[in-house]
A = this chain, B = another copy of it.
Amino acid sequence: MILYLNGNFIPESEAAISVYDRGFLYGDGLFETVRIVAGRPYKLIEHLQRLQSAAAALDLQFSGADSMPSVVDRLLQFNNTRDSLLRITLTRGPGKRGYSPKNAGPPTILVALHPLPENHDILQQWHLILSTHKAADPFGAFKTCSKLLLVLARAQADRAGADDALLLHLDGTLAETTTSNIFWICDGALCTPPLTPSILPGVTRQTVINLARDMNIPVAERTATPADLFGAEAVLLTQTTFGIIEAVTLDQRPVRCSPQTNALHRAYMATLPR
C-alpha cells in the first residue's frame, strides 16, 4: 500500500506522524472519507469543498486543495484500486505543547486508502441503538479529528451488538448516527432533521435529497423525536460508504420498512460510475 503524506508517495511501512502533531495531541484537524468506485473518486469535489470550508472555519491552512484531485488520481494508480475508501486527513501539523495553534505547522496532509466493506452494493439492514451520549459537539458540522464523542457512542452500539448508534440533540430531537444522516418516510414524504451545528451536512444527505426530488418524492426538513421513527413508513440512513442503508430496529424494537427505500437505494446506486 502506497500513501500520500506531505507531498510524497511512500510505502505504508515508511509513513509516520510526528509525536508533536496537533492532530495526535489535541484532535486539531479535519478529515474526509471518499468512496472510490470503479477506480474513480465519487463526489470528490463536494468532499474537498466541505474540507475547504471547514478548514477556513478552523483557520487551518489547506493550500493543497487544488492539487488534491491529481494526488488522488496518482494514489489510485500506484495502488491499482477499483473499489475502496479514501481518507484525506488534514491537521495543523506539529506544534509546541499547549492549546494555542500559534506558530504550528506546516499542516500535515495524509491521503490513504482503506478497504470497502463486502456487499457494499447491496442494501444493508441495520440495527440501531439510541446512544446515551448527546449530539453536543459544537463543531459537529465539521468532520474534525476531535471525534471521541462518536467513538464512545459507536462503542455503545458495539456492546449492544448493533450496527450504529443514534444521537439526539440536547433537546431530545433527532440529530444523526455516528456514521450517517437519518431520514424517515412519513405520509409519502422523505423527512430529515434540519442541519444544526451538531449535525454533519452529509454529501450523501444532499445527493439523496436531490435524487428524491428528481423522483417526485416530496422532501421535508423536520424536527422530530425517536417516537416519530416508530410511526414512520421507513427509516433510512445516508453515508459515503453504503450510500443508503435501511434501519430495521431501534433499541431492538422494529421500525417499518417500505419498498420506497429499495427504490431510493436503486436510484442512488445508478448514480455511481461503472
The chain A residues found within 8 Å of chain B, CB to CB, are: 3, 5, 12, 15-19, 21-28, 31, 33, 58-59, 85, 87, 89, 91-92, 96-102, 110, 112, 114, 133-134, 136-139, 144-155, 157-158, 170, 178-179
Contacts of A28 in B (CB 8 A): 147-148, 151
Question: Is the pair B26, A24 in contact by a Cβ cutoff of 8 Å?
Answer: no
The 6 closest A-B pairs by CB, nearest first: A27-B27, A16-B16, A146-B146, A146-B148, A99-B154, A97-B114
Contacts of A3 in B (CB 8 A): 19
Contacts of A147 in B (CB 8 A): 26-28, 99, 146
Contacts of A89 in B (CB 8 A): 24-25
Count the copies.
2
CA of A26 to CA of B97, assembled, Å: 19
Question: Is the pair A97, B85 in contact by a Cβ cutoff of 8 Å?
Answer: yes
CA of A141 to CA of B22, assembled, Å: 20
Question: Is the pair B145, A26 in contact by a Cβ cutoff of 8 Å?
Answer: yes
CB distance from A166 to the nearest CB of B (A): 14
9 additional contacts (CB under 8 A) given A92-B151, A146-B148: A12-B19, A16-B19, A19-B112, A24-B145, A26-B27, A26-B145, A99-B147, A102-B155, A170-B170
Contacts of A18 in B (CB 8 A): 16-17
Residue of A21, A151, A178 contacting most chain B CB atoms (<10 Å): A151
CB distance from A88 to the nearest CB of B (A): 12
CA of A17 to CA of B21, assembled, Å: 9
Contacts of A27 in B (CB 8 A): 26-27, 144-148
CA of A149 to CA of B142, assembled, Å: 12
CB distance from A271 to the nearest CB of B (A): 23
Contact of A138 among B26, B91, B136, B139 (CB under 8 A): B136
- Given A27-B27, A87-B97 in contact, is the A152-B16 Cβ separation under 8 Å? no
CB distance from A119 to the nearest CB of B (A): 16
Question: Is the pair B19, A110 in contact by a Cβ cutoff of 8 Å?
Answer: yes
- Given A26-B27, A146-B148, A148-B58 in contact, is the A154-B100 Cβ separation under 8 Å? yes
